[in-house]
């Protein structure tokens, strides 16, 4: 069994790592000190496809597997556990529930 990342997985891993280092690391202490939730950073992660990473493209997601999802969480968590947890909550508790339990209209809308 081959456990090496394929080229697409390497690209996603590097993209998330670069984003975390550029957008999150320089700000995380200030966010924590001020008890601030970085809405604009979350929006940027949404634009990168991280807030619907395993949702099929037909519903507005990225269409990746749970492997890419876990890899993204690992890279975010290396820099800031709170941001990683927020992305996990959005994917697993929000979009995931709609995808797995919502009707077709809800899936297309949300």
Q: Examine residue 1 and state whether it is found in any structural domain, yes or no.
A: no
> Mean of the pLDDT values across residues 22-46?
97
Q: Examine residue 2 and state whether it is found in any structural domain, yes or no.
A: no
Q: What CA–CA distance (Å, rounded) separates 46 from 38?
A: 13
Give residue 35's pLDDT: 96
Q: Examine residue 101 and state whether it is found in any structural domain, yes or no.
A: yes
Q: Examine residue 26 and state whether it is found in any structural domain, yes or no.
A: yes
Q: Mean pLDDT of all residues in the chain?
A: 96
Q: Examine residue 102 and state whether it is found in any structural domain, yes or no.
A: yes
Number of H helices, E strands in the chain: 7, 0
For residue 17, give the CATH number of its domain: 1.10.540.10
> Mean of the pLDDT values across residues 85-99?
95
Q: In total, how many domains does the chain have?
A: 1
Domain that holds residue 102: 7-109
> Mean of the pLDDT values across residues 76-105?
96
Is 29's pLDDT higher than 90? yes
Q: Examine residue 20 and state whether it is found in any structural domain, yes or no.
A: yes
pTM for the structure as a whole: 0.90
Q: What percent of the chain has pLDDT over 90?
A: 93
């Amino acid at each position: 069994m081959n456990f090496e990342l394929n080229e697409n997985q390497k690209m996603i891993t590097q993209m998330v790592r670069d984003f975390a280092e550029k957008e999150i690391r320089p700000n995380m202490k200030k966010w924590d000190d001020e008890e601030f939730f970085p809405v604009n950073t979350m929006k940027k992660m949404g634009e990168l496809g991280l807030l619907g990473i395993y949702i099929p493209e037909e519903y507005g997601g990225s269409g990746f597997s749970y492997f890419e999802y876990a890899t993204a969480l690992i890279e975010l968590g290396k820099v800031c556990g709170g941001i990683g947890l927020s992305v996990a909550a959005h994917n697993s508790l929000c979009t995931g529930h709609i995808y797995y339990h919502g009707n077709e209209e809800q899936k297309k809308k949300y």
